[in-house]
């Protein structure tokens, strides 16, 4: 099953090459954020633990955080 991911690169200047390698592995890339060195997308058919590319600092599951409104009762 595809998992949403956040990948952080070691060197920002290599981010496009790493995004290209992720695509070649079957990952769907949503955003390539050159300023921060972050790539977002989903893992395709691979588990996150199987994504190993030289130059990647980390690959983690993208989690959605929601804020609950406090009641004023």
pLDDT in tens, 26-43: 999 999 999 999 999 999
- Residue 69: pLDDT band (50, 70, 90) is confident
At 2, the pLDDT band (50, 70, 90 cuts) reads confident
pTM of the predicted model, to two decimals? Answer: 0.84
User: What are the tokens at 45?
Assistant: 């058919």
pLDDT-above-90 percentage for the chain:
82
CB half-sphere exposure, 64, CA atoms < 13 A: 4
pLDDT at 73: 57
Report how far residue 33's alpha carbon sits from residue 3's, in angstroms, rounded to the nearest whole number. 19
């Amino acid at each position: 099953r595809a998992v949403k991911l956040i990948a952080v690169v070691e060197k920002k200047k290599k981010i496009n090459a790493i995004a290209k390698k992720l695509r070649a592995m079957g990952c769907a890339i949503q955003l390539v954020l050159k300023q921060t060195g972050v790539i977002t997308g989903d893992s395709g058919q691979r588990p996150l633990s199987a994504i190993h590319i030289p130059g990647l600092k980390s690959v983690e599951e993208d989690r959605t955080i929601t804020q609950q409104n406090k009641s004023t009762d």
